[in-house]
Structure 1
Amino acid sequence: MYELEEKGYLYFLIAIPVLAMLFLYVQYWKRKKQREFGDTDLLKKLSPEKSVFKPILKLVVFLLALTCLIIGLVNPKMGTKLETVKREGIDIVFAIDVSKSMLAEDVAPSRLEKSKQLVSQIINNLGSDRIGIVAYSGSAFPVLPITTDYSVAKMFLQGMNPGIISAQGTSIDQAINLATTFIDKKDKTNKLLIIISDGEDHSEASLDAAEEAKKLGLKIITIGVGSEKGGPIPLKRNGVVQSFQRDQNDEVVITKRNPEVLKQIAKATGGGYVDGNSTKTVLDYVKNALDNIQRTEFESTQMSDFKSQFQWFLGFGFFLLFLDVFLLEKKTKWVEKMNLFNEKE
């Protein structure tokens, strides 16, 4: 396991492709001017020792050196020891609706993005609880098993979109059933399932699944996103809206939030429903709910004794810079004698 101490320096890596593009442009400009100046073969005879390959090699070495120096500034740290620690918390599974209706933008920036923002904010407020993530639409998919690594959870969270599940629709029962598999029946840790959805589930199986979840000791909180007025489902290409989802009659589909379904599911397990359009309301509600759930002690393993590794990257970076200084743009004599590309024939 590793961690990055100064992640802000990673933005400097943007300079790498910029410098590469600038180099290509300069080379193009030089060749263009040379062709305007005179015959290319004549110019080669006037500068016989000029190498075409060496400038590219120098650039590659320089960019590698720059990359190493930037990574050195970031200071990656590697864990050197795995230890078992005792924590007190509960197991929380987030079930996020990734059906196409969640692309509706009646809540900014969209229902799905709003859902991911809510989950991220909830995770930020957690202490030592374990979390898991489930994505669902027409079926359910385990995105992340129960873990205490919040940074990994956020990484997987950001990658969630309707494309990760081929079956379309909204089957909350599938999400509940999958979430129950995250539960270790022998583990006495209290469990909570947080479902984030627009509630467009027309199946009665969701209530049955909620009843079964209650028997396993799983409480459900539902968060409704979207407006009851509804909105169309945009179809985008490269971030630009091309059209809107249409039904069989070629009418634009208007998707609406259905809080009643979500309220019934939560009520079946002794949980509650909260309007997801207000971030503060959601965070306060979830915080109060967690405060009223008894936390249980459990063991988890984690890496410790993180040691800085910046010196290796800085050392290699300075070595490459030193090498770049002594790399001349002239042809290397012994390579030229080998005539690898039959240039003398």
Structure 2
Amino acid sequence: MYELDEKGYFYLLLVVPIMTVVFLYLLYWKRKKQREFGDLDLIEKLSPEKSTFKSILKFVVVSLGIICLIIGLVNPKIGTKMETVKREGIDIIFAIDVSKSMLAEDVAPNRLEKSKQLVSQIINQLGNDRIGIIAYSGNAFPVLPITTDYGVAKMFLQTMNPGMISTQGTSIDESINLAATFVNKKDKTNKLLIIISDGEDHSNNAESAALEAKKLGIKIITIGVGTEKGGTIPLKRNGAVESLQRDQNNEVVITKRNTDVLKIIAKTTKGGYVDGNSTKEVLTYVKNALDNIEKTEFESTQMADYQSQFQWFLGFGFFFLFVDVFLLERKTNWVRKMNLFNEKE
């Protein structure tokens, strides 16, 4: 396992391709000027010690030195062992609606992408809590089990799309029932289920599922995305809209946010509902809710004893730059005798 301290320094690597383009242009420009000056064979005879290969070698060595120095600034760290640590927090399960109605663009860029943004922002303000992710539409699918690795959670979050679940429709009860399986009855950690949806529900069993969740000690917060006015569902290919979603009567589907359903679900478990169209409002609401939930101690296993490796890269970087000082652009006598690079006529 590894981690990177200062990923922003990776942008400095853009210097290398820029240097390469400039170097190749200079080679071309020199060759062009030599042709204008006179015969190339004659010029080579007038400067027999000049080596094109050594020029390229010097550039490669300098480039390697710069790359190593930049990686050293990033400071990669390698974990050497696993250890169990004790933390205080709660278990938070995110249930994200990935049905086709979440592709409606009445909220920019669309309801699903807005949901992902909200979850990502909520994760950013968490401390020691464990999180899990569920995707649901016609049925529910566990995307990520309970974990403390927020980086992995965000990675899985970005992969979520309507195509990951074959059964279409929206059954909020399926997400609640699946969230209940995340609960370990022996674990006394408080549980919070955060449902992000437009509220469309085709099962009508969400309230009863919420009651069962309440018995297990799961509190539910619902976040509604979309508008009451609603919007169409664009069907895209390669980013371009091909058509709009239509129903069995070939009428264009207008999907609207159903706030009432989401409020009933939240109220059943003494949770709460918040308008997901305002990121600031969601973050403030969730933060206040988390502050009012008692944190419990739990154990988690994680990679520990990370050791910085920057010194190796800095060392190699300075070594390459040091070697460059002693690399001259004239031919090396012993290499010239071997004629490895066809430098003799």
TM-score w.r.t. length of structure 1: 0.79
Please give the residue correspondences for 1:67-106 in structure 2 after superposition, counting only pairs within 5 Å. 67-80=67-80, 82-106=82-106
Deviation at 1:287, TM superposition (A): 2.6
Q: What CA distance in whole angstroms lies between the structure 1 residues aligned with 2:333 and 2:234? A: 62
Question: 1:15 corresponds to which residue?
Answer: 15
Secondary structure, aligned partner of 2:63: helix
1:122–1:328 Cα change, 3 Å: same
Please give the residue correspondences for 1:207-222 in structure 2 after superposition, counting only pairs within 5 Å. 207-222=207-222
Question: 2:161 corresponds to which residue?
Answer: 162
Greater displacement, 267-276 / 160-169:
160-169
Does the CA-based 8 Å contact 2:190-2:296 persist in structure 1? yes
1:307–1:189 Cα change, 3 Å: same
Does the CA-based 8 Å contact 2:106-2:226 persist in structure 1? yes
Deviation at 1:272, TM superposition (A): 2.4
Please give the residue correspondences for 1:279-318 in structure 2 after superposition, counting only pairs within 5 Å. 279-318=279-318
Deviation at 1:297, TM superposition (A): 1.7
**Which structure is larger by alpha-carbon Rg, 1 or 2?**
2
Question: 2:172 corresponds to which residue?
Answer: 172
Q: Any gaps of 5 or more consecutive residues in structure 2?
A: none
RMSD: 3.8
Deviation at 1:49, TM superposition (A): 7.2
Please give the residue correspondences for 1:148-297 in structure 2 after superposition, counting only pairs within 5 Å. 148-157=148-157, 159-162=158-161, 165=164, 167=166, 169=168, 170-234=170-234, 241-247=240-246, 253-297=253-297
Secondary structure, aligned partner of 2:214: helix
Does the CA-based 8 Å contact 1:139-1:165 persist in structure 2? no
Q: What CA distance in whole angstroms lies between the structure 2 residues aligned with 1:305 and 1:274? A: 41
Greater displacement, 226-235 / 272-281:
226-235
1:200–1:15 Cα change, 3 Å: farther
Cα offsets for 1:115-142 (capped at 9, x unmatched): 2232233223323211122233445443
TM-score w.r.t. length of structure 2: 0.79
Does the CA-based 8 Å contact 1:230-1:254 persist in structure 2? yes
Cα offsets for 1:279-314 (capped at 9, x unmatched): 232223223332333222212234444433211110
Q: What CA distance in whole angstroms lies between the structure 1 residues aligned with 2:58 and 2:250? A: 59
Does the CA-based 8 Å contact 2:89-2:129 persist in structure 1? yes
1:286–1:325 Cα change, 3 Å: same
Does the CA-based 8 Å contact 2:136-2:165 persist in structure 1? no
1:49–1:146 Cα change, 3 Å: farther
- For 1:15, give the aligned amino acid: V
1:255–1:47 Cα change, 3 Å: farther
Cα offsets for 1:32-82 (capped at 9, x unmatched): 777888888888888787767665554444333222111211223334554
Cα offsets for 1:163-211 (capped at 9, x unmatched): 6615263443443333333222221211111111222332335445434
Greater displacement, 283-292 / 240-249:
240-249
Does the CA-based 8 Å contact 1:134-1:144 persist in structure 2? yes
1:342–1:309 Cα change, 3 Å: closer
- For 2:164, give the aligned amino acid: I
Deviation at 1:317, TM superposition (A): 1.2
Does the CA-based 8 Å contact 2:141-2:165 persist in structure 1? no
Deviation at 1:92, TM superposition (A): 0.4
Please give the residue correspondences for 1:14-53 in structure 2 after superposition, counting only pairs within 5 Å. 14-24=14-24
- For 1:104, give the aligned amino acid: A
Q: What CA distance in whole angstroms lies between the structure 1 residues aligned with 2:95 and 2:77? A: 32
Q: What CA distance in whole angstroms lies between the structure 1 residues aligned with 2:325 and 2:274? A: 63
Deviation at 1:341, TM superposition (A): 9.2
Secondary structure, aligned partner of 1:144: strand
